[in-house]
Amino acid sequence: MKCPNCKRKILNNAKYCKYCAYPISVQQGTEESNKNKSRIVRILLLCCFIVAVLIIIA
C-alpha cells in the first residue's frame, strides 16, 4: 500500500506513514486491497478469454 500523502510504500496494517507521519485510516487500506483483488480478477478473466479463443482456433 502507498501513503496517500508522500506516495511511499508502507505496510498494509500501518496506522501512520513512517516517512511523513501521515495518519492512515483503515478504509484506505481496504480500498487498496479491493483494487488489487479487482486487478487479479480482470487478469484471470483475460487469461480465460485467451484460452477460449485458442481452443476455438485449434
How confident is the model over 2-53, as pLDDT tens digits? 899 999 999 988 899 999 999 987 655 556 667 778 888 999 999 999 999 9
> Do the Cβ atoms of 30 and 41 come closer than 8 Å?
no
pLDDT of residue 31: 64
Residues 6+ apart with CB under 8 A from 4: 22, 24, 28
